[in-house]
C-alpha cells in the first residue's frame, strides 16, 4: 500500500480523559508542535505523494485547543496539497463554534466529531479531565445545536459494555441530521465471546435498518467505515499481507516521526525505539521500514498475517510498549476485527445494487 496519509498530532493535551484513548494525553512531558514542524512535515509528505492521493489529518490530543496553530497549519496544508487533497480533523466537539465551522468550510476541512452515542453511552467512557459531575454529552450537544450537522461527521467507539445499543445510537445520530457516521469497536479491550456475538447481532440489525432506509426513499448517513472495508477487500485480493507497507506518515507532538501511531499510546520519550526521524531532519525512511518489518515478522510467524481488514502492527507495538505478550492481544484483535468485518460485509451484500447505495459507495472501490 503506497503512502497516502499524513497524521499530524498537534499536541498531547486534551480537555477530556476518555477511558479508551490510545494517545497518552495529559501524561508525561507536555508536547506541542510549532508551525515550522507542521510546515516541514506537510512539505515532505506532498513531495512524495501525488495530488490525487494526499490526505492530511490534524489530531491530538484535542486539535482545537490551539486554534491559531490549527488555522495556520490548515491553511498551509490546503495550499500545499491543492484542491484535490483531503484535509480533515477529529475533535471531541467541546470547542466547536459557528465561526470555526465557517473556517472549515472556507478551507475545505472535513470535521468529524467524536461522540459515542446518546448520553448514557457517551458519558460512560468520555469524561472531562480533572472535572467531576459535568456531562460531556450535554456540552457537545449544546455546541452542535446551532450547527448544520448535515455537513459534519460523527464517530463513535463502541465497547463490550455499549455494543448492544450500537444500532439505536447510530439511528439517533441519523435523526439528529449528521451526514456522515462512522463507528468502530474498541479493538484493544478483551471481548468475551458473548459480546462478540452481541456485535454480530447488532451489525445484522444495522444492515437491515440501512436497507430499510434505502427502500423507504430516505437517504441514509454515509458510513465512512465502509470505505476502509471495501479498500481492504481490494488490498487483500492483490496481497493478503498488504498491511506490511504502512500508508501512514505519523508526526508526533514532539516533532518526531514514528513508524506507528501506537507509539503515542505511551508518554513522550518512552517509545524512542519507534522514532523514525523528525520534522527538522526529515523522515528516516529506511529506519521506518525496519521498525515496521520487525512486528510484521512476528505477526506472520504467528499465522495471523493474512486477510486483515485493519492493520495489525499497532496492536503488537501497543502490547510491547506496555510490557505485555503481544500474542493474546493479537488474537483478541483478530477475533473482534473479523466479526466486525463480517457484519459490515453483510451490509454491503444486502445493500449493493440499490441505486442510492451505488451512488454513495460505488466509487469507493477505486479509492
Round to whole Å and give the CA distance between 329 and 321: 12
Residue 188's contacts (CB-CB under 8 Å, 6 or more residues apart) are 20, 22, 315, 318, 329, 333
Round to whole Å and give the CA distance between 120 and 301: 42
Round to whole Å and give the CA distance between 220 and 175: 10
Angle, in degrees to the nearest 10, between helices 193-215 and 326-351: 20
The closest alpha carbon to 263, from 317, 187, 186, 325, belongs to 317
Domain 5-366 has CATH 3.20.20.70: yes
Q: Say how many residues make up the chain.
A: 367
Q: Average pLDDT for residues 24-42, to the nearest whole number? A: 96
> What is the per-residue pLDDT for 1?
61
> What is the per-residue pLDDT for 278?
98
> What is the per-residue pLDDT for 230?
87
Question: H/E element holding 139?
Answer: helix 136-144
The closest alpha carbon to 164, from 120, 208, 102, 222, belongs to 120
The DSSP annotation for 30-90 comes to --B--HHHHHHHHHHHHHHS-GGG-EEEEESS-TTSSHHHHHHHHHHHHHHH-TTSEEEEE
> What is the per-residue pLDDT for 363?
53
Write down the domain spans for the chain.
5-366
> What is the per-residue pLDDT for 143?
97
Cell, residue 206 = 444495522
> What is the per-residue pLDDT for 119?
98
**pLDDT per residue over 62-117, tens digit each?**
999 999 999 999 999 999 999 999 999 999 999 999 999 999 999 999 999 999 99
CA 283 to chain centre: 22
Instruction: Report the share of the chain in percent with pLDDT over 70.
Output: 98
> What is the per-residue pLDDT for 233?
87
Indicate the average pLDDT of the chain: 95
Three-state SS across 275-307?
EEEECCCEECHHHHHHHHHHHHHHHHHCCCCCC
Q: Which has the higher per-residue pLDDT, 235 or 252?
A: 252
**pLDDT per residue over 125-173, tens digit each?**
999 999 989 999 999 999 999 999 999 999 999 999 999 999 999 999 9
> What is the per-residue pLDDT for 367?
29
> What is the per-residue pLDDT for 266?
93
Rg (CA), the chain: 20
Confidence of residue 365 (pLDDT cuts 50, 70, 90): very low
> What is the per-residue pLDDT for 228?
87
Confidence of residue 305 (pLDDT cuts 50, 70, 90): confident
Amino acid at each position: 500500500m503506497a503512502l497516502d496519509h499524513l497524521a499530524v498530532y498537534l499536541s498531547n493535551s486534551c480537555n477530556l480523559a476518555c477511558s479508551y484513548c490510545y494517545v497518552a494525553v495529559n501524561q508525561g512531558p507536555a508536547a506541542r508542535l510549532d508551525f515550522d514542524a507542521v510546515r516541514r512535515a506537510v512539505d515532505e509528505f506532498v513531495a512524495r505523494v501525488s495530488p490525487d492521493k494526499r490526505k492530511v489529518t490534524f489530531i491530538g490530543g484535542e486539535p482545537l485547543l490551539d486554534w491559531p496553530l490549527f488555522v495556520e497549519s490548515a491553511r498551509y496544508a490546503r495550499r500545499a496539497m491543492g484542491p484535490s487533497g483531503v484535509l480533515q480533523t477529529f475533535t471531541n466537539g467541546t470547542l466547536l463554534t459557528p465561526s470555526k465551522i465557517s473556517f472549515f468550510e472556507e478551507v475545505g476541512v472535513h470535521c468529524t466529531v467524536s461522540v459515542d452515542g446518546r448520553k448514557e453511552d457517551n458519558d460512560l467512557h468520555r469524561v472531562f479531565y480533572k472535572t467531576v459531575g459535568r456531562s460531556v454529552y450535554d456540552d457537545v450537544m449544546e455546541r452542535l445545536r446551532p450547527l448544520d450537522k448535515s455537513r459534519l461527521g460523527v464517530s463513535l467507539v463502541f465497547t463490550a459494555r455499549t455494543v448492544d445499543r450500537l444500532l439505536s445510537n447510530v439511528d439517533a445520530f441519523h435523526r439528529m441530521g449528521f451526514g456522515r457516521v462512522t463507528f468502530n469497536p474498541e479493538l484493544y479491550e478483551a471481548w468475551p465471546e458473548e459480546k462478540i456475538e452481541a456485535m454480530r447481532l447488532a451489525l445484522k440489525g444495522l444492515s437491515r435498518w440501512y436497507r430499510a432506509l434505502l427502500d423507504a426513499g430516505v437517504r441514509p448517513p454515509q458510513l465512512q467505515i465502509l470505505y476502509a472495508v471495501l479498500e481492504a477487500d481490494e488490498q487483500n485480493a492483490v496481497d493478503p499481507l498488504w498491511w506490511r507497507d504502512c500508508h501512514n506518515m505519523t508526526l508526533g507532538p514532539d516533532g518526531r516521526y514514528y513508524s506507528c501511531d501506537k507509539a503515542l499510546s505511551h508518554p513522550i520519550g518512552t517509545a524512542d525505539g519507534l522514532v523514525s526521524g523528525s520534522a527538522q531532519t526529515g523522515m528516516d525512511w529506511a529506519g521506518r521500514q525496519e521498525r515496521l518489518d520487525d512486528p510484521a515478522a512476528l505477526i506472520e510467524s504467528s499465522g495471523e498475517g493474512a486477510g486483515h481488514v485493519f492493520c495489525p502492527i499497532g496492536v503488537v507495538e501497543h502490547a510491547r510498549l506496555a510490557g505485555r505478550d503481544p500474542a493474546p492481544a493479537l488474537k483478541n484483535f483478530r477475533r473482534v476485527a473479523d466479526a466486525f468485518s463480517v457484519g459490515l460485509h453483510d451490509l454491503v451484500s444486502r445493500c449493493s445494487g440499490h441505486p442510492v447505495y451505488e451512488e454513495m459507495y460505488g466509487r469507493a472501490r477505486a479509492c
